[in-house]
Structure 1
Amino acid sequence: MSTCEYRSLAPEAVAARIAQMEEENRQLRQAIDSHAVIDQALGVLAAAHRLAPENGWEVLRETSQHTNIKLRTLAEAIVRCALGRPLPGTVRRELQAAVARRHSQRPA
């Protein structure tokens, strides 16, 4: 909508549109932040386990599903692990199993 079109709207409609745009902005910022931490976790997996990015993505996805932890939360834990914080036991086991599955699928 152009500025002229907003002038013809009731103040409540303008306020509602502003609120909607602010929510969209918040969601976009959250998506950008999530993307950054997921990329960092992929880098950790690539370095620590010699995984290609697509395999790292599958490891993250599988581990997230098997532990019922959101992908972003899992990625944050992996990045913290790279900085010296331990992974919870269940997460560590599922991550190791997912990495092993990816390694076993590599062509000889």
Structure 2
Amino acid sequence: MAIERDDLLKKIAGLEKEVGQLRQALVSHAVIDQAIGMVITHGRLLPDQGWDVLRTVSQNTNTKVRLIAEQIVQWPYSGRLPQDIQQALEAALARA
């Protein structure tokens, strides 16, 4: 009986962790989609090009796409974009 209970508790803990990861993924996906929209608008690009630019900025700054997206989404509110991200963004937009 104790083994079954321990197995159940482990299963519950695993499922709770998975639910948390899925929730975080949903939030990250929404932020990335918003950033792609901003890149498309800023650079007058096609939707596929927006994702490519975001990914290129991520690779060139060695920063996760989610973090790049968060910076880009906050840009209009803060009025600032970190210099390395801004330079990588402008270079990627010029190549797109």
- The two structures have a TM-score, normalised by structure 1, of 0.83
- Aligned sequence identity (%): 45
Helix, strand or coil at the partner of 2:6: helix
Please say if residues 60 and 71 of structure 1, whose CA atoms lie closer than 8 Å, have aligned partners that are also in contact.
Answer: yes
Partner of residue 38 from structure 1, selected from 32, 35, 39: 32
Aligned to 1:68: 62
Residues 68-101 of structure 1: CA deviation (Å, up to 9, x unaligned): 1111110010011122431111110011001111
- Runs of 4+ aligned residues of structure 1 deviating over 2 Å after TM superposition are 82-85
Segments of 5+ residues of structure 2 without an aligned counterpart are: none
What SS is found at the alignment partner of 1:99?
Answer: helix
Query: Which structure has the larger Rg over C-alpha atoms?
Result: 1
The corresponding residue for 2:83 is 89
Q: Aligned to 2:45, what secondary structure does the other structure show?
A: coil
| Higher fraction of helix | 2
The alignment of Structure 1 onto Structure 2 pairs a total of residues equal to: 95
Give the alignment of 1:1-108 within 5 angstroms.
10-102=4-96
Distance 1:85 1:10 in 2: 56
How far apart in 2 are the matches of 1:37 and 1:74? 10
| Aligned residue number for residue 4 of structure 1 | none
Contact kept in structure 2, 1:44 and 1:82, CA below 8 Å: no
Deviation at 1:10, TM superposition (A): 1.0
- For residues 77 and 37 of structure 2, the distance between their equivalents in structure 1, rounded to whole angstroms, comes to 13
